[in-house]
Structure 1
Amino acid sequence: MWREITRRTFSGVGFGEPADAAEVAAAERRLGRPLPSELVSLLGEADGLVGHDGVDTVWPLRQIVEQNLLFWTDHSFADLYMPFDALLFFGDNGGGDQFAFVRTPARPDIFVWEHEDDSRRWVARDLRDYLVRSLTDGGDDWYR
């Protein structure tokens, strides 16, 4: 399903090898929380998606875990940004802004965190909408 959706939107999309259930379970244990079901489904088809200009539209599972643990635990971020605990980052625009699910309260919407001003705002109603929007335009600022 996810490969079809993304290929129809952008024929040049790149796919990582699928993540298996054991890898997802290990990632969820490390994160201490479940991943959104849509994201798990996508990772089961492709462990990461590369869009226009080599942008990591969806990070590989390993990077999802590493980036979120960093943002949730790095004390230096507390002096610079609002807390990230409610967000689960999964991709970026190639220029520093990152995309996330809101985990508290859990919802399917996708938000962008803009690193220049620490703003967080809605950009897509769910993962499918995010993929179509980001892969259709292809610019690193498609969400503005």
Structure 2
Amino acid sequence: MQEIDNKKFFRNYAFFMLILLVIFGILLYFVLVARKAWTKNLAITVQTVLDEEENGRWKVGDNIPINSPLTVNCAAYEITDSMDKAPKIAVIIRIMNYYGPIPAVYILNEDTRETQFIAYSSLHGRIRNQFLNNKSDKRREYWQEKIPDIIYK
């Protein structure tokens, strides 16, 4: 009698684990599909910001994987500059500001490892001009210095 109960228990346990495995497999599939769309849409956002600054100068290329815990908050892309042939990387990173977290776009020169702030991606008009004219924004400067460490870690 005890063996029959054990068989029934293990059969129910295996069935339960199979259901959990299927659910986690479905969730993993959706995460992987969403990651591809997320990467593509961030590349479009970076291209839009770069075109707002100088239309036609930069072309966004492939995604660069980042080996850092900050991958949730930033993404990096290869870019080509029509005026300068030096290899460059465009980085979009979420930084805190007066209005909460705002995605900012930086360009990193791979040869000199110098970072240049370009613009905020979600600000437009008068507010954007006020933020760009604020040259002493310490948060922006902090991330400008931190980006080479994040990319080349």
Q: Say whether the fold is shared (TM-score over 0.5).
A: no
Q: Could you say which structure has the higher helix fraction?
A: 2
Greater RCO (CA < 8 Å, at least 6 residues apart) = 1
- Structure 2 length normalisation: TM-score? 0.28
